[in-house]
Amino acid sequence: MALDDPATLVSTDWLAAHLRDPDLRIIDASWYMPAENRDTKAEYEAAHIPGARFFDIDEISDARSSLPHMAPSPEKFMSRMRAMGVGDGHQIVVYDTDGIFSAPRVWWLFRLMGQMNIAVLDGGMKKWVAEGRAIEDLPPVIRDRHMMVRFQNQMVKDVTQVAAAAKLGAYQIVDARAATRFAGTDPEPRAGLRAGHIPGAVNVPFKTLLNENGTMKDEAGLKAAFTAGGVDLEKPVIASCGSGITACVLALALERIGKTDHAVYDGSWTEWGSVPSMPIETGAS
């Protein structure tokens, strides 16, 4: 697949060339682990790619759930996007400050809502700034536009569906966490969670899909990383991680290699690891 694909991934060169397109909408989806104590909204307000809107992953979520940043209802998503001036007919580019970390979560949310015209900025804000490209601290001009949502149920799995998949082996469960967290040798960053992984899962740490500069590997590199992690690319995949953020890096990478039969376990280990009745395994896959 060519690097610049408006439905998956675009380069900083592509974004610079299209920056003034009237129907382009840029989204800053930066997010950090709670322990980092960073104010993403303040960082966005201080510096962002020109015209970018801020997407609050924790706020644009299901407030009824006790789990962090679960996918919002279609109604809430539509309402928040209208308030951001993002709607039908827009080409959306989403980025984060880390390179490729949290932006794929928002890419996946748009696709979950049936919006396919969204791409992640390869290398994110870090690459954009390193190249000396323009940034600003101005708020975007918001123009209301309606968004039609067509919820894609097949793209998200709940704990019951994942438990069945683990038992029956119909799906490959692929965990994006670091190898030490997957194996259970490192404690979980969230209090109260057991250490380990879903039985039968394999481990593809999301960073193995990225180059040293934070860009995504090419198709051959992605396939090699999945194969090295024990993924059978002939089987459908359920992607999991700590709380549903980096699982979406796996989803983006799978889409980049032309594999479309994938879903995200939205509750991920934050849910599975907190339920005493759910079985766990430890050790490498």
Alpha-carbon distance of 176 to 174, in angstroms, equals 7
pLDDT tens string 72-84: 999 999 999 999 9
Contacts of 238 (CB under 8 A, 6+ apart): 157, 162, 165, 171, 172, 173, 174, 262, 263, 264, 265
Sheet of 172-175: strand order equals 156-157, 262-265, 237-240, 172-175, 202-203
Q: How far apart are CA 210 and CA 253, in angstroms?
A: 9
> β-strands 24-28, 9-10: how paired?
unpaired
Confidence at residue 124, expressed as pLDDT on a 0 to 100 scale: 98
Specify the amino acid at residue 242.
Answer: G
Q: Cα(41)–Cα(188) distance, rounded to whole angstroms?
A: 26
How far is the CA of 74 from the CAs of 39, 104, 157, in angstroms?
Answer: 27, 18, 16
Q: Taking residues 255-275, what's their average pLDDT? A: 97
Residue 2 clears pLDDT 70, i.e. is over it: no
Give, in degrees to the nearest 5, the angle at Cα 254 between 95 and 244: 60
Give one DSSP letter per residue of 41-94, joined into a string.
Answer: HHHHHHSBSTTPEE--TTTSS-TT-SSTTPPPPHHHHHHHHHHHT--TT-EEEE
Query: Using an 8 Å Cβ cutoff, are 233 and 223 in contact?
Result: yes
- Report pTM: 0.97
Candidate list 241, 252, 263, 264, residue with the active-site label: 241
Euclidean distance between CA atoms 205 and 228, whole angstroms: 11
Return the pLDDT at 249.
98
The domains of the chain, with CATH numbers, are: 9-151 (3.40.250.10), 154-272 (3.40.250.10)
- The dihedral of CA 195, 101, 258, 114: what is its sign? positive
The answer to whether the beta carbons of residues 35 and 27 sit under 8 Å apart is no
Q: pLDDT (tens digit, 9 = 90+) per residue, 109-153?
A: 999 999 999 999 999 999 999 999 999 999 999 998 999 999 999
Active-site residue flag, 241: yes
Confidence check: pLDDT of 5 > 90? yes
Query: How far are the Cα atoms of 81, 85, 86, 101, 120 from residue 140, in angstroms, in the given order?
Result: 14, 9, 11, 23, 19
d(CA 123, CA 215) in angstroms, rounded, equals: 4
How confident is the model over 11-52, as pLDDT tens digits? Answer: 999 999 999 999 999 999 999 988 889 999 999 999 999 999
If you count them, how many residues does the chain have? 285
Residue 102's closest CA among 197, 38, 184, 187? Answer: 38
Q: Is 238 helix (H, G, I), strand (E, B) or coil?
A: strand
